[in-house]
Amino acid sequence: MTFHYNFGIMFLDVIVLKIKKVVIIFFITITIFTICFFLFKPNFYLMNKTSEVSEEYIPKVKVKNAFFDLSSKVVIDNLVDNDKIGTYKIICHLNYFFLSWEKTFEVEVKDSQSPTIELIGPQEVTVCPSKTYEELGYKAIDNYDQDLTDKVNVLKSKDKIVYSVKDNSNNEFTIERKIIYQDLENPVINLKGEKEITIYQGSKYTEMGYEAIDNCDSNLTDKVLITNNLDINKIGEYEITYEVEDLSGNKGIAKRKVIVKKKPTYPKGDGVIYLTFDDGPSNLTSQVLDILDRENVKATFFVISANELTKRAYQSGHTIGLHSNTHNYKYIYTSETNYFQDLKAIQDKVYNVTGYRSMLIRFPGGSSNTVSKYYKKGIMTNLVKEVLNRGYNYFDWNIDSNDAGSDIKNSSKIYSNVISNLSPNKTNVVLLHDASNHQATLKALPDIIAFGKSHGYTFKAITDDTPVVRHYVNN
């Protein structure tokens, strides 16, 4: 029994021991297996969990276990819409270690960029001290929320304006505009009339006017101060100074030059009248010559052509002067060369008809003409010198019959214009015209001659001995 008993006990002991062993082995296996599992298990990491909106999102996923980097084996489902703010998923798949692994991450697409405000106009504005700043405008743009101009908050204070705006993701932007109250611009004085004027000694200077304008204080004309050292009785050059100051102390200045010239003194006349006829010969020339012949009056013809009538005039003792071949202001006053070419042409024509080389000139428009300014500045100044250098003589006039002006059809006005200006104490050079539309001149001529004769005048043609009558040159 004991044996049995002992055997029975021993048998039990063996069983228990076996079970213990199995259990221990089991737990060791489980432990090893678990350790292996965790050593070989892939771990997923997402390096970039946020993305800026509208920028391309490329997930940076790393997969590792204790031994290997498995990142290159991962397949990713990228569900991110990078054009829209939001939270998205990416799903990572990996087949490894006889298993399929999967890991889902969340990615946030954010707007972290600030909007910007663009100021219209400068960031530093200068405003007249007397005025207030008027908003020049602005524009607010956000990369994601687009136009935010309506949401701009404008804060005005005395010397600056602060513009701020927030986008829907609470990104903020602020910009300042500085306001400087000052007037740095000088007022401007605009002179009316010429900036340089010439007047005769002893005559009166008349102010032609001026206007003073300021950027801030508008019209300052009343505040202009005028100073000058003008002595109208003394020949010389003078300056009239116009000065004005605005409310900020900026000064404006303008100057006008006044040249006081000697009054032209005509050589003492001897009761002679020099009738001069411009622009012929014409269909009236023969009648003009008839009248002059009948009255035994000598005159001067400044011609623009030459024909038999020119020859007749020359042979009757009248003087033939040179006016122009073309009488085209634009041509003759564009260059000195043109002028002399034209002069030579009319001189040749006269020579061919009369055999006489005339050296007497009358400039188209007179030497005082201003029309030549449009074609060449200073040309008259050059021409009057140059014609004298070349041995020519030129005459203007001191009595204008106005027969080429408003009185062209009015013979009694032409008559009175002439006779009212005659003086026994001057060289009376009378401007008349010999051209087809000057019937009124023809009609007035006998009366002018009659008046002259009855008042003790004699009529002569201009010669080299005639005291010159010349205008002041204006160009």
When the beta carbons of 261 and 327 are compared against Zn ion, the nearer one is 327
- Is the link from the previous residue into 446 a cis peptide, with omega within 30 of 0? no
When the beta carbons of 142 and 279 are compared against Zn ion, the nearer one is 279
Q: Which stretch binds Zn ion (CB under 5 A): 101-109, 202-210, 213-221, 357-365?
A: 357-365
CA distances from 297 to 252, 254, 273, 459 (A): 61, 55, 10, 6
Distance CA 138, CA 149 (A): 7
CB of 327 to Zn ion, least distance (A): 6
Q: Which stretch binds Zn ion (CB under 5 A): 71-79, 104-112, 129-137, 361-369?
A: 361-369
Q: For residue 144, what are its two tokens? A: 């994601």
Task: For the chain, give the number of residues.
Answer: 475
Order of strands across the sheet that contains 172-181: 124-127, 172-181, 160-166, 153-156
When the beta carbons of 115 and 364 are compared against Zn ion, the nearer one is 364
When the beta carbons of 42 and 364 are compared against Zn ion, the nearer one is 364
Q: Which stretch binds Zn ion (CB under 5 A): 100-108, 218-226, 358-366, 395-403?
A: 358-366
When the beta carbons of 171 and 310 are compared against Zn ion, the nearer one is 310
What is the full DSSP assignment across 78-135?
Answer: E---TTS-EEEEEEEEEEETTEEEEEEEEEEEE--PPPEEEESS-SEEEE-TTS----
Distance CA 7, CA 241 (A): 147
CB of 347 to Zn ion, least distance (A): 16
Contact 439, 341 (CB under 8 A): no
CB of 445 to Zn ion, least distance (A): 18
Q: For residue 361, what are its two tokens? A: 């000139």
Asked if 396 touches Zn ion (CB under 5 A), the answer is no
CB of 323 to Zn ion, least distance (A): 6
Number of residues lying near Zn ion (CB under 5 A): 3
- 3-state DSSP call for residue 438? coil
286: Cα separation from own chain's centroid = 57
Nearest to 424 by CA among 455, 469, 399: 455
Count how many Cα atoms sit within 13 Å of the Cα of residue 448 in the half-sphere of its side chain.
34
Distance CA 426, CA 414 (A): 20
When the beta carbons of 183 and 342 are compared against Zn ion, the nearer one is 342
Q: For tokens 């003589």, what's the residue?
A: 393
CB of 364 to Zn ion, least distance (A): 5
CA distances from 320 to 55, 56, 404 (A): 95, 97, 20
CB of 278 to Zn ion, least distance (A): 4
CB of 351 to Zn ion, least distance (A): 20
When the beta carbons of 250 and 282 are compared against Zn ion, the nearer one is 282
**Which string of x and - marks every residue 269-288 that binds Zn ion (by CB under 5 A)?**
---------xx---------
CB of 443 to Zn ion, least distance (A): 20
Side chain identity at 18, as an amino acid letter?
K
Q: Which stretch binds Zn ion (CB under 5 A): 32-40, 42-50, 218-226, 364-372?
A: 364-372
Q: For residue 319, what are its two tokens? A: 């003087």
When the beta carbons of 142 and 278 are compared against Zn ion, the nearer one is 278
When the beta carbons of 101 and 301 are compared against Zn ion, the nearer one is 301
When the beta carbons of 145 and 278 are compared against Zn ion, the nearer one is 278
Contact 238, 257 (CB under 8 A): yes
When the beta carbons of 105 and 329 are compared against Zn ion, the nearer one is 329
CB of 306 to Zn ion, least distance (A): 15
Binding positions for Zn ion, 421-440, rule CB under 5 A: none
Q: Which stretch binds Zn ion (CB under 5 A): 48-56, 306-314, 360-368, 443-451?
A: 360-368
Instruction: Return the ∠ at Cα 371 (arms to 365 and 373), rounded to 5°.
Output: 130
SS (H, E, C) 32-80: HHHHHHHHHCCEEEECCCEEECCCCCCCCEEEECCCCECHHHCEEEECC
CB of 305 to Zn ion, least distance (A): 12
Q: Which residue is nearest to Zn ion (CB)?
A: 278
Binding positions for Zn ion, 326-345, rule CB under 5 A: none
Q: Which stretch binds Zn ion (CB under 5 A): 81-89, 157-165, 226-234, 356-364?
A: 356-364
CB of 424 to Zn ion, least distance (A): 28
Interface contacts to Zn ion, rule CB under 5 A: 278-279, 364
